[in-house]
Each structure stands twice: as structure tokens, then as C-alpha cells.
């Protein structure tokens, strides 16, 4: 992707996300927590775009707002829980659920929840890389100087094009298909691409 095209997509993303006042406030309050390597990511980001593109209210259908951070120096549940409790106070009054998660700890509980082992992540970016759909592999954060940092390893064309594309690197097929089915109930305009069959190779 050419640099100017990437810049245009990021500007388009920021314009769309700017329509969601709750998302902007989550970004602002998250920036004040000083979390290492944090991003606002996953459904709340791409679903805001879907809402803007399809003419819905910007926050419609958004289940929660995910804030990922990476603290490899303390993998205890107690440390993560302290951040979660701080976030509960910081995000109080927004009327939405904000989930804070230390991605350095995911490998400790992932297999028990999803049935497949998860290698230890090296960063929040590597966690975003493993989302069930490449379309959701987008993270944003507000920097101290007011600029936004955007992480979008697969670009943003699918996000604005309403295409849900599988990412068969970690999450099982049933996780992808369950998420896609739930999303289509809210955004029937989505084109959901099938999970690749054995021998087809990745669709990413």
C-alpha cells in the first residue's frame, strides 16, 4: 500500500471513529491510565466504522470496548485485577462495558477457555494479529501529543468494505463462525468469507 493511500485510510478511520463520542471518551480516559503498550481494539473499532458506513447510530450493536495493554513484568492475576478495578472507576458513568486485559497473561488462560494452546504474546500488536477475523485486527490509541497511533496490519479496506475475513492462525473455526453469525444479526450488510478448508491455504 502506498504511503499516501495508507494516510488517507487512517484519516478516514479517525473521521469515522470521531462520530462515536463514547469511543473518543474511552480513548481519552484510557490514555490517562499510563498503561504500557495499550490499544483500544477489536469489535468497538471496526463496528463503529460499520455503523457509520451503513448509516446507523455510531455505537449501535457494540457489546463492549476492549482496552489491551502489555505488562510482562507482572503476570499475576492480582496485578491485572488492580488495573481492572482502576478502570472500573475511571470509566464509570459512560454507560458501556470497558474490558481491560493484560495480553502478557493470555497464554495462561486461553486454552482453558477456547480449547487450543496460545503461545505467549510479545506485545499487544502480536495479540491483535491473532484475532479470529483479519478485519478486526485494528488498534488505536491516543498519544500524549494528541496524535493517534493506528495499528492495522491487514489494512482497512475490508473494514470499510464490510468484509469479514477469517484469520486462521489461532482461534478455532467455530469461534470465527460464531462471531461472524452474531455480527451479521446486527449488520446484515456484511460479507462473511468462509473459513478455509484444508488444502486451500489461508484466505488472508
pLDDT tens, position by position, 28-49: 999 999 999 999 999 999 999 9
Instruction: Compute CA distances 167 → 65, 110, 188, 202, whole Å.
Output: 21, 17, 21, 8
Provide the whole-model pTM: 0.90
* pLDDT for position 3: 45
Is residue 134 within 8 A of residue 161, CB to CB? The reply is: no
Which cell goes with 138?
485494528
- How far apart are alpha carbons 162 and 165 in whole angstroms? 10
Q: How far is CA 134 from the centre of its chain?
A: 10
Q: What are the two backbone dihedrals, phi and then psi, of residue 152, each rounded to the nearest 5 degrees? A: -145, 80
pLDDT single digits (tens) 110-159: 888 888 888 999 999 999 999 999 999 999 999 888 788 999 999 999 99
The pLDDT value given to residue 35: 96
Percent of the chain with pLDDT over 90: 79
160 pLDDT band, cuts 50/70/90, is: very high
Amino acid at each position: 500500500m502506498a504511503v499516501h493511500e495508507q494516510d488517507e485510510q487512517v484519516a478516514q478511520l479517525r473521521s469515522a471513529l470521531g462520530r462515536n463520542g463514547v469511543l473518543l471518551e474511552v480513548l481519552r480516559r484510557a490514555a490517562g491510565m499510563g498503561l504500557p503498550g495499550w490499544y483500544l481494539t477489536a469489535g468497538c473499532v471496526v463496528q463503529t466504522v460499520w455503523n457509520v458506513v451503513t448509516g446507523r447510530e455510531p455505537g449501535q450493536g457494540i457489546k463492549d470496548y476492549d482496552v489491551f495493554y502489555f505488562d510482562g513484568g507482572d503476570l499475576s492475576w492480582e496485578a491485572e485485577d488492580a488495573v481492572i478495578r482502576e478502570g472500573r472507576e475511571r470509566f464509570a458513568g459512560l454507560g458501556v462495558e470497558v474490558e481491560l486485559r493484560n495480553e502478557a497473561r493470555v497464554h495462561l488462560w486461553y486454552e482453558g477457555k477456547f480449547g487450543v494452546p496460545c503461545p505467549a504474546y510479545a506485545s499487544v500488536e502480536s495479540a491483535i494479529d491473532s484475532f479470529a477475523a483479519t478485519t478486526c485486527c485494528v488498534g488505536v490509541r491516543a498519544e500524549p501529543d494528541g496524535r493517534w497511533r493506528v495499528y492495522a496490519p491487514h489494512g482497512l479496506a475490508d473494514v470499510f468494505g464490510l468484509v469479514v475475513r477469517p484469520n486462521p492462525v489461532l482461534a478455532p473455526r467455530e469461534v470465527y463462525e460464531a462471531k461472524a453469525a452474531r455480527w451479521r444479526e446486527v449488520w446484515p450488510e456484511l460479507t462473511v468469507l468462509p473459513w478455509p478448508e484444508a488444502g486451500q491455504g489461508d484466505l488472508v
